[in-house]
Amino acid sequence: MESTPNILATRYASGAMRGVWSAEGRVALERDYWIAVLRAQKDLGLNIPAEAVEAYERVKGQINLESINKREAVTRHDVKARIEEFCDLAGYEHIHKGLTSRDLTENVEQLQILRGLEILRTKTLAALVKLADRAEQWKDLVITARTHNVPAQPTTFGKRLAMFGEDLLCAARELDRIVNNYPVRGLKGPVGTQMDLLTLFDGDLEKVDQLESRILDHLGVGASLENVGQVYPRGLDFEVVSVFVRLASGPSSFAKTLRIMAGHELASEGFAKGQVGSSAMPHKMNSRSCERLNGFAAILKGYLTMASELSGDQWNEGDVSCSVVRRVFLPDSFYAIDGLLDTFITILNQMEVYPAVIDQENQRYGPFLSTTTVLMEAVKAGAGREEAHEAIKEHAVATVRDLRSGVIMHNDLVDRLAADQRLGLTAEKLAAVVADAQAKTGMAATQVAQFCEAVREEVQSFPAASSYEPGAIL
Amino acid sequence: MESTPNILATRYASGAMRGVWSAEGRVALERDYWIAVLRAQKDLGLNIPAEAVEAYERVKGQINLESINKREAVTRHDVKARIEEFCDLAGYEHIHKGLTSRDLTENVEQLQILRGLEILRTKTLAALVKLADRAEQWKDLVITARTHNVPAQPTTFGKRLAMFGEDLLCAARELDRIVNNYPVRGLKGPVGTQMDLLTLFDGDLEKVDQLESRILDHLGVGASLENVGQVYPRGLDFEVVSVFVRLASGPSSFAKTLRIMAGHELASEGFAKGQVGSSAMPHKMNSRSCERLNGFAAILKGYLTMASELSGDQWNEGDVSCSVVRRVFLPDSFYAIDGLLDTFITILNQMEVYPAVIDQENQRYGPFLSTTTVLMEAVKAGAGREEAHEAIKEHAVATVRDLRSGVIMHNDLVDRLAADQRLGLTAEKLAAVVADAQAKTGMAATQVAQFCEAVREEVQSFPAASSYEPGAIL
Amino acid sequence: MESTPNILATRYASGAMRGVWSAEGRVALERDYWIAVLRAQKDLGLNIPAEAVEAYERVKGQINLESINKREAVTRHDVKARIEEFCDLAGYEHIHKGLTSRDLTENVEQLQILRGLEILRTKTLAALVKLADRAEQWKDLVITARTHNVPAQPTTFGKRLAMFGEDLLCAARELDRIVNNYPVRGLKGPVGTQMDLLTLFDGDLEKVDQLESRILDHLGVGASLENVGQVYPRGLDFEVVSVFVRLASGPSSFAKTLRIMAGHELASEGFAKGQVGSSAMPHKMNSRSCERLNGFAAILKGYLTMASELSGDQWNEGDVSCSVVRRVFLPDSFYAIDGLLDTFITILNQMEVYPAVIDQENQRYGPFLSTTTVLMEAVKAGAGREEAHEAIKEHAVATVRDLRSGVIMHNDLVDRLAADQRLGLTAEKLAAVVADAQAKTGMAATQVAQFCEAVREEVQSFPAASSYEPGAIL
Amino acid sequence: MESTPNILATRYASGAMRGVWSAEGRVALERDYWIAVLRAQKDLGLNIPAEAVEAYERVKGQINLESINKREAVTRHDVKARIEEFCDLAGYEHIHKGLTSRDLTENVEQLQILRGLEILRTKTLAALVKLADRAEQWKDLVITARTHNVPAQPTTFGKRLAMFGEDLLCAARELDRIVNNYPVRGLKGPVGTQMDLLTLFDGDLEKVDQLESRILDHLGVGASLENVGQVYPRGLDFEVVSVFVRLASGPSSFAKTLRIMAGHELASEGFAKGQVGSSAMPHKMNSRSCERLNGFAAILKGYLTMASELSGDQWNEGDVSCSVVRRVFLPDSFYAIDGLLDTFITILNQMEVYPAVIDQENQRYGPFLSTTTVLMEAVKAGAGREEAHEAIKEHAVATVRDLRSGVIMHNDLVDRLAADQRLGLTAEKLAAVVADAQAKTGMAATQVAQFCEAVREEVQSFPAASSYEPGAIL
B274 and B341 in a common domain: yes
Mutate one of D281, D305, D351 to test the A interface: name it (highest A CB count within 10 A).
Answer: D281
Residue contact A193–B444, C-beta within 8 A: yes
Q: Tell the burial category of D469 from Cβ atoms under 10 Å away from its Cβ (0-12, 13-18, 19+).
A: exposed
> Sorting pLDDT into bands at 50, 70 and 90, what band is B272?
low
Which of C22-43 are b and which e, b meaning 16 or more Cβ less than 10 Å from the residue's Cβ?
bbebbbbbbbbbbbebbbbbbe
Question: Given CB atoms, is C273 within the 8 Å cutoff of chain B?
Answer: no
How far is the C-alpha of D454 from the C-alpha of B303, rounded, in Å?
37
Domain stops at, among C353, C374, C389: C353
CB A32 within 8 A of CB A40: no
| Mean of pLDDT values over B450-455 | 98
Q: pLDDT tens, D358-417?
A: 999 999 999 998 888 888 889 889 999 889 989 998 999 899 999 999 999 899 999 999
C141 and C120 in a common domain: yes
Residue contact B321–D7, C-beta within 8 A: no
Higher pLDDT, D223 or A275: D223
**Partner chains of D (3+ C-beta pairs under 8 Å):** A, B, C
| Mean of pLDDT values over B436-457 | 94
- The reply to whether B435 falls in a domain is no
Q: Distance of CA B309 to CAs A176, A260, B184, D239, D296, Å?
A: 24, 19, 21, 21, 11
* pLDDT score, position C74: 85
Instruction: Please tell me which of the candidates B286, B356, B400 has its beta carbon nearest to residue C148.
Output: B286
- The reply to whether B458 falls in a domain is no
CB C103 within 8 A of CB C191: no
Instruction: Please tell me which of the candidates B10, B259, B329 has its beta carbon nearest to residue D302.
Output: B329
* pLDDT score, position D73: 85
E-only strand ranges, D319-399: 352-353
- The reply to whether C402 falls in a domain is no
Residue contact C317–D167, C-beta within 8 A: no
Question: Given CB atoms, is C192 within the 8 Å cutoff of chain B?
Answer: no
D183 and D144 in a common domain: yes
Mutate one of C281, C310, C402 to test the B interface: name it (highest B CB count within 10 A).
Answer: C281
Q: DSSP secondary structure string, A380-391?
A: HTT--HHHHHHH
C241 and C169 in a common domain: yes
D370 and D333 in a common domain: no
- The reply to whether B361 falls in a domain is no
Question: Given CB atoms, is D307 within the 8 Å cutoff of chain C?
Answer: no
Amino acid at D97: K
* pLDDT score, position A211: 96
C232 and C325 in a common domain: yes
CATH number assigned to the domain comprising residue C126: 1.20.200.10
Residue contact A155–B193, C-beta within 8 A: yes
User: In chain D, positions 376-435, which contact chain B (CB-CB < 8 Å)?
Assistant: none
* Closest C-alpha among B376, B296, B378, B275 to residue B344: B296
CB D123 within 8 A of CB D176: no
* pLDDT score, position D299: 98
User: In chain A, positions 41-80, which contact chain C (CB-CB < 8 Å)?
Assistant: 65, 76
Question: Given CB atoms, is A223 within the 8 Å cutoff of chain D?
Answer: no
CB C17 within 8 A of CB C470: no
> Is residue B444's pLDDT more than 70?
yes
* pLDDT score, position B284: 80
DSSP at A138: T
Domain stops at, among D353, D373, D405: D353
Kindly report the average pLDDT of chain D as a whole number: 94
CATH number assigned to the domain comprising residue B33: 1.10.275.10
Which of B251-289 are b and which e, b meaning 16 or more Cβ less than 10 Å from the residue's Cβ?
bbbbbbbbbbbbbbbbbbbbeeeeeebeebbbbbbbbbb
C171 and C305 in a common domain: yes
> Is residue A340's pLDDT more than 70?
yes
CA dihedral sign of residues C97, C99, C105, C109:
negative
Q: pLDDT tens, B50-97?
A: 999 999 999 999 999 999 999 988 888 889 999 999 999 999 999 999
* pLDDT score, position B10: 94
- The reply to whether C202 falls in a domain is no
Mutate one of A141, A148, A410 to test the D interface: name it (highest D CB count within 10 A).
Answer: A148
Residue contact A163–B228, C-beta within 8 A: yes
Residues of chain D with pLDDT under 70: 1, 272-280
Residue contact B282–C147, C-beta within 8 A: no
- D79: number of CA atoms within 13 Å, CB side? 13
Residue contact B319–A160, C-beta within 8 A: no
CB A33 within 8 A of CB A83: no
* pLDDT score, position B430: 92
Q: pLDDT tens, A85-131?
A: 999 999 999 999 999 999 999 999 999 999 999 999 999 999 999 99
Question: Given CB atoms, is A151 within the 8 Å cutoff of chain B?
Answer: no
User: In chain C, positions 321-360, which contact chain A (CB-CB < 8 Å)?
Assistant: 321-325, 327-329, 331-332, 339
D255 and D375 in a common domain: no
Query: What is the least distance, in Å, from the CA of B458 to any CA of chain C?
Result: 34
Question: Given CB atoms, is C274 within the 8 Å cutoff of chain A?
Answer: no
> Is residue A276's pLDDT more than 60?
no
- Contact residues on chain B for A294, CB-CB shorter than 8 A: 312
Question: Given CB atoms, is A90 within the 8 Å cutoff of chain B?
Answer: no
Q: Which residues contact D468 (CB under 8 A, 6 or more apart)?
A: D122, D123, D126, D345
Neighbours of B385 (CB within 10 A): 11
Give the DSSP H/E element, type plus range, for residue A184: strand A183-184
**Partner chains of B (3+ C-beta pairs under 8 Å):** A, C, D
Residue contact B151–C279, C-beta within 8 A: no
D155 and D108 in a common domain: yes
Mutate one of C144, C150, C399, C409 to test the B interface: name it (highest B CB count within 10 A).
Answer: C150
Question: Given CB atoms, is B264 within the 8 Å cutoff of chain C?
Answer: yes
Beta bridge pairs of residue B353: B267
Beta bridge pairs of residue A5: C5
* pLDDT score, position A75: 82
CB A23 within 8 A of CB A331: no
Q: DSSP secondary structure string, C419-438?
A: H-TTT---HHHHHHHHHHHH
| Angle, vertex CA D419, rays to CA D414 and CA D423, nearest 5 | 85
| Residue in C with minimal Cα distance to B405 | C356
CATH number assigned to the domain comprising residue D388: 1.10.40.30
- The reply to whether D469 falls in a domain is no
Least confident of A72-81, A463-472, C285-294: A72-81
CB B157 within 8 A of CB A114: no
Mutate one of D443, D446, D458 to test the C interface: name it (highest C CB count within 10 A).
Answer: D443
> Is residue A41's pLDDT more than 90?
yes
Domain that holds residue C155: 101-190+214-353
* pLDDT score, position D9: 97
* Closest C-alpha among D337, D294, D168, A291 to residue C236: D168
**Partner chains of A (3+ C-beta pairs under 8 Å):** B, C, D
- Contact residues on chain A for C9, CB-CB shorter than 8 A: 2, 4
D328 and D231 in a common domain: yes
Looking at the structure of chain B, the number of domains it has is 2
- The reply to whether C394 falls in a domain is no
- The reply to whether A139 falls in a domain is yes
> Sorting pLDDT into bands at 50, 70 and 90, what band is B302?
very high
Domain stops at, among C330, C353, C376: C353
How far is the C-alpha of A268 from the C-alpha of A280, rounded, in Å?
18
C185 and C164 in a common domain: yes
Question: Given CB atoms, is D244 within the 8 Å cutoff of chain C?
Answer: no
Question: Given CB atoms, is A278 within the 8 Å cutoff of chain B?
Answer: no
* pLDDT score, position B154: 95
> Is residue A56's pLDDT more than 90?
yes
* pLDDT score, position D74: 85
| Residue in B with minimal Cα distance to C149 | B263
Quick one: what percent of chain B has pLDDT higher than 70?
98
Q: pLDDT tens, D245-289?
A: 999 999 999 999 999 999 999 999 987 655 555 656 777 788 999
> Sorting pLDDT into bands at 50, 70 and 90, what band is B288?
very high
* pLDDT score, position C134: 98
How far is the C-alpha of B344 from the C-alpha of B346, rounded, in Å?
5
D250 and D106 in a common domain: yes
How far is the C-alpha of C378 from the C-alpha of C365, rounded, in Å?
20
Specify the pTM.
0.97
How far is the C-alpha of B137 from the C-alpha of A334, rounded, in Å?
42
Residues of chain C with pLDDT under 70: 1, 272-280
Angle between helices C355-369 and C427-438 (to 10 degrees): 120
> Sorting pLDDT into bands at 50, 70 and 90, what band is B1?
low
